[in-house]
Structure 1
Amino acid sequence: MDTKVWEINIDQLKDKDTENKLDEIKTALTYGEVVGIPTETVYGLAGDARNSEAIQKIFSAKGRPGDNPLIVHIHSVEQLDGFTEPRDPKVKTLMKHFWPGPISFILPLKGSMLSSNTVAELNSVAVRMPSHPVGHAILEHVGFPLAAPSANLSGKPSPTHYRHVIDDLNGKVYGVVASDSATFGLESTVLDCTQYPYRIARPGSITKAELESVLKETVNRHEDEVNAEKPISPGMKYKHYAPRQPLAVIEGGLKNNTYIEVTEDRKIGIIAPENCRGYVPEGALFISLCSSEDAYREAGRNLYAALRKMDKSDVDLIYIHGFPKSAETEALMNRIYKATGDEVIKDDHL
């Protein structure tokens, strides 16, 4: 059976028909179904975070490893009282400043309200409050916390548009909300608040510098725990965001490239800023990632859509432009390196 689609755009939230759609979505989630919902980062595959059967449906639909914890989504800070320990004043300050928005906080878990599958048997839980008006309205209407990893097949590029969800999961999930696309396009920053100083478990749109400016103290970075037995955050253990073809990042950027060659028996795809189009070898498939090399936020918003277009193409090998390392590009390059499996063309090959 095909996945049900509800159309709810931001400008339709006050419509009477939208109330009926929200009721249908709440009923589906209450009875343990899973639904693709929009957020400002990527589309999430939502299920009742308290219901082990619903959580198993999420893992099964995505083909997601069971030791990869899920982020719990809420609409109000008061909901945290039901399943997390009392919050440190510094955490409250960060939440007041950045929520709703693209950041998740890892907090000490309290009690047994949440399914153990949601937190992958950990004694902590990652929680966030989305700012996407439709996603937030769904959470508020439903009333209970929703676990919602990205609504894609595990390991594939994350979805930033509802059609991406349909491409991956049609017939595998109960429904999806067709709504306005994600504005950020990269998954949330994840901040581990169970240790001190706080540590970034996954970079995102909210940077280390922004966190430190609010806290007035240092925030540490996690090393990638690729071999960790129990990753505390999504994105720490497994290869992610990858198209089916081999993918390599060109460190130093496409403008410096003299290495890529197109041959009769090897079709090449290149993802790079629009102003690098003139450096693309003749015969290669080019997908523009952003307008220029310093349009980092635009590149992050378009990254997964570009990877998905390449995935559907007939190219044999994909190269992607490497951006200079900085606080502004940290999240973007983290996703690019994850997608390539750290396959890099370094400067000594150029």
Structure 2
Amino acid sequence: MTAPNASIPTVRLPYGTAAIAAAAEVIGRGGCVAVPTETVYGLAADATDSRAVAGIYAAKGRPDFNPLIVHVPDRAAAEALAVFDDAARRLADACWPGPLTLVLPIREGSGIASLVTAGLATIALRVPAHDAMQALLRATGRPLAAPSANASGSISPTRAEHVLRSLGGRIPLVIDDGPTARGIESTIIACVGGQVRQLRPGPIAREDIANLLGCAVGGAGAGIEAPGQLASHYAPSRPVRLEAMAARDDEWLIGFGPVAGDATLSADGDLVEAAARLFDALHVADMAERSGIAVAPVPDTGLGVAINDRLRRAAVPG
């Protein structure tokens, strides 16, 4: 799908009672709104309303073979939509609310719009930890499909400014609660057919999932099973060069650790700080008057696996 040509006024409201009421009203009449979560800002709509979900795809220009994550307030609401096995329950109890998405067999009669699952027999579910998304879930009383609030394939938004830069004029409302805490999207784990597999790395490391369950965690297959699996994703408008120890001519250098750069993800080499700053740094670099973006090496361990996953996809030409 492509984004509509018509421009609409986009209102920006600080998070609070009035903003949640306004957002719930928009969602109640089949619209979509941008709302912060602890990971990135999401573009939320009623997951049971096909036309509302189509509005998400249209606003983002998102391909309709790419499924969406559905946000719910608690595990009970999630179990009404999907079939949980023992591994899924253990992960939900340990990690929800929080930055973990579970891909599970969809429950018959769930009422979820088929566009949400992109025709798959599974559904991606998350219980968010952010007060704004939790408040919106409870105000609407609906499961909310909410991919990142940005044009498809572009840099994910961790501030309201990023949302406005990408989707201003395409959506009616952005709830602003400042920068997000985690800075990168949730870890996605599939629990299907007795197997546990990581479909997307994120704030909760694969080894932590394996330790929690006491079993091996497999990897993703060849097909698209969850968001964030396209080869080119999270991409700035300028070319990205990785593993850079210094900038070349006319490059903006994003540093890490001993590599200072024009800006740094973390001068101390702190991966948590780096994850929180990653997309904001890419937005800043993309707006700089340079022909390219270079990024210093980031260790490919722990949270660094998720950071490097985003960087490698950002560096693939769209």
1:44-123 → structure 2 map (5 Å cutoff): 44-85=42-83, 87-112=84-109, 113-123=111-121
Matched AA of 1:102:
P
Per-residue CA deviations over 1:276-314 (Å, capped at 9, x if unaligned) read: 22xx5xxxxx1222123x311111111111111111121
Provide the residue aligned with 1:11 in structure 2: none
Cα distance in 2 for partners of 1:165, 1:342 equals: 22
Q: Which amino acid aligns with 1:243?
A: P
**Matching residue within 16, 19, 22 for 2:17:** 19
Distance 1:106 1:70 in 2: 11
Match of 2:251 among 256, 268, 275: 268
Structure 1 residue matching 2:138: 3-state secondary structure: helix
Between the aligned partners of 2:31 and 2:241, the Cα distance in structure 1 is 38
Q: Which residue of 1 aligns with 2:5?
A: none
Deviations 1:172-231 (A, max 9, x none): 0121101132111010000011143300000001011211222122211225x3xx3xx1
**How many pairs are equivalent?**
310
CA distance in 1, matches of 2:286, 2:39: 21
Give distance in 1, aligned partners of 2:122 and 2:43. Answer: 21
| Unpaired runs of at least 5, structure 1 | 9-17, 281-285, 344-350
2:100, 2:19 → 1: CA distance? 28
Q: Which residue in the other structure is 2:273 paired with?
A: 298
1:245 aligns with 2:243: no
Secondary structure of 2:303 counterpart: coil
With the length of structure 2 as denominator, give the TM-score of the two structures. 0.93
- Report if the CA contact (8 A) 2:184-2:202 is conserved: yes
1:147 aligned to 2:145? Answer: yes
Q: Deviations over 1:107-131 (max 9, x none)?
A: 1012340110011011100000110
For 2:307 and 2:92, locate their aligned partners in 1 and report how far apart those are by CA, in whole Å. 23
Query: Partner of 1:236 in structure 2?
Result: 229
Partner SS, residue 202 of structure 2:
coil
Name the amino acid aligned to 2:316. Answer: G
User: More deviation in 36-45 or 90-99?
Assistant: 90-99
Q: SS in structure 2 opposite 1:117?
A: helix
Q: Which amino acid is the alignment partner of residue 252 of structure 2?
A: G
Give the share of equivalent positions with the same residue, in percent: 31
Partner residue of 1:13? none
Q: Which moved more, 1:237-246 or 1:144-153?
A: 237-246
2:282 to 301, 307, 310: 307
Moved more, 128-137 or 117-126: 128-137
Q: Pick from 340, 343, 350 the counterpart of residue 315 of structure 2.
A: 340
Find the aligned partners of 1:328 and 1:70 in 2 and give their Cα distance.
23
RMSD of the TM alignment (CA)?
A: 1.7
Partner AA of 1:32 in structure 2: G
Q: Structure 2 unaligned runs (5+)? A: 1-7
Secondary structure (helix, strand or coil) at the match of 1:211 reads helix
**2:135 aligns with one of 134, 137, 145:** 137
Partner of 1:2: 9
Query: How far 1:23 moved relative to its partner?
Result: 2.4
1:115-162 deviation per Cα after TM superposition (whole angstroms, max 9, x unaligned): 100110111000001101222121122211000000001111100011
Task: Report the CA distance between 1:325 and its aligned residue.
Answer: 1.9
- Superposed displacement of residue 20, structure 1: 3.9
Q: CA deviation at 1:342?
A: 8.3
Say whether the 8 Å CA contact 2:184–2:275 is kept in structure 1: yes
Deviation, 1:76, is: 1.6
Question: Which protein is bigger by CA-based radius of gyration?
Answer: 1
Name the aligned partner's letter for residue 316 of structure 1: S
* Per-residue CA distance 1:245-265 (angstroms, 9 max, x = gap): 111101xx52xx5xx542xxx
Deviation at 1:238, TM superposition (A): 4.1
**Aligned partners of 1:102 and 1:187 also within 8 Å:** yes
Aligned partners of 1:139 and 1:146 also within 8 Å: yes
